[in-house]
Homo-oligomer: A and B are copies of this chain.
Amino acid sequence: MNILGCGSALPTTRHLATSQVVDLRDKLYMIDCGEGTQVQMRRMRIKFSRLNHIFISHLHGDHCFGLPGLISTLGMLGRLGELVIHGPKEVESYMRPVLHLFCKGFPFEVRFNPIDPTKHTLVMEDHSLRVYSIPLKHRIPCCGYLFAEKEKEAHIIREMTDFYNVPIRMMQEIKRGADFVTPEGEVIPNARLTRPAEPPKRYAYCSDTAFHPSIIPFIEGVDLLYHEATFAECDAARAKETFHSTARQAAEIARDAHVKRLMIGHYSARYEQSLVLKQEADTIFPHTIAAEEGMKLEI
């Protein structure tokens, strides 16, 4: 998982506007696309050609003003494959006129997948992954996204399949859990032929949102939770007023949802350092990770 930007609305020289890229089995899934995202992709050497899906949380500029530039660049790079933009329906209202003015005659399609940000539903599914929406509580329609990796195939124990002379044509079935029956009729249980795959991973992205414990059932036990922490607890009133969270509130959500790891971000420009927010979260959820531009994290 790559952090391209983790600042909030006002620009600073410390942070860029929000964007992340999930990298799974050689495919890239972008979440939000603030201004400057395409340049940051170049800096982090993230391949434009591997990106097919962009998930937008809501229609605030610091989460989507990078889309026109990124899509224009994909056009100039000669992209052919469809690009799908998932997000509240307002995303299409924003981007349609822009595409019309700037991207006429492009060699690829931009398809919009409008999603209802008030519901927890399946947004996208491919070979490796299911993505679900997570209803958040913000000033405008806004949702987070849950990335749930699919069950992987078991690993073949080569010594055992050799020993039992398992034919190549049966390997696929065995990877998927089948037992092997020898020509003599002996049943070799699958557990002797395979090692189980790593358990599938889950990543939840929750930005921007007021403190909103209703999301807990959707993110219960995820391997990594990204939760916004725009403010510190001393600015809790401001957080409430603007429908944002404090670092402490993010940590409370993480603790109550029993997530494995918590990462915070979307820092307000008023904080010179994210350390004060990390330390606040740490008191509730130890070893909180403070997102930084350029960070690459194994989930």
Show the binding face of A for B, using Cβ within 8 Å: 9-13, 16-17, 35-36, 38-39, 42-43, 59-62, 65-66, 68-69, 72-73, 76-77, 90, 93-94, 97-98, 101-102
Which residues in B have their C-beta under 8 angstroms from that of A76?
9-10
Q: List 11 A-B contacts (CB under 8 A).
A: A9-B73, A10-B76, A10-B77, A11-B39, A16-B39, A35-B35, A35-B36, A35-B68, A65-B68, A93-B101, A94-B101
Which residue of chain B has the shortest Cβ distance to A102 in the bound complex? B61
Given contacts A35-B66, A65-B68, A72-B9, contact A101 B42 (CB under 8 A): no
A101 neighbours in B (Cβ, 8 Å): 59, 90, 93-94
- Given pairs A61-B68, A65-B69, 13 additional interface contacts (CB within 8 A): A9-B73, A9-B76, A10-B76, A11-B69, A17-B69, A61-B72, A61-B102, A62-B69, A65-B65, A93-B97, A93-B101, A97-B97, A98-B98
B residues less than 8 Å from A68 (CB atoms)? 35, 61, 65
Complex CA–CA separation, A93 to B13 (angstroms): 31
CB distance from A90 to the nearest CB of B (A): 7
List 4 A-B pairs, minimum CB-CB distance, nearest first. A35-B69, A61-B72, A11-B39, A65-B69
CA distance in complex: A42, B66 (Å): 18
Chain B residue numbers with a CB within 8 Å of A9 are 72-73, 76
The SS class assigned to the A binding surface is helix
Say whether A61 contacts B65, CB under 8 Å: no
A94/B98 contact (C-beta < 8 A), A11-B39, A69-B11, A72-B61 known = yes
Chain B residues with CB under 8 A of A11: 38-39, 42, 69, 73
Total copies of this chain within the assembly: 2
> In this complex, what residue of B is CB-closest to A61?
B72
Query: Separation in Å of the A37 CB from the closest CB of chain B?
Result: 9
Decide if A69 touches B61 in the complex (CB within 8 Å): yes
A25 to B59, CA, bound (A): 38
CB distance from A140 to the nearest CB of B (A): 10
Are B65 and A39 touching (Cβ within 8 A)? Answer: no
Q: Hey, which chain B residues are within 8 Å of A12, CB to CB?
A: 42
Distance A39 CA – B61 CA, assembled complex (angstroms): 14
Q: Give the contacting residue for A39; candidates B36, B42, B59, B97; CB below 8 A.
A: B36
**Structural contact, A42 and B61, CB atoms closer than 8 A:** no
Shortest CB distance A94–B (Å): 5
Expressed in whole angstroms, the Cα–Cα distance for A72 and B9 within the complex equals 9
Shortest Cβ distance from residue A150 to the other chain B in the assembled complex, whole angstroms: 33
Cα–Cα distance between A241 and B93 once the two chains are bound (Å): 34
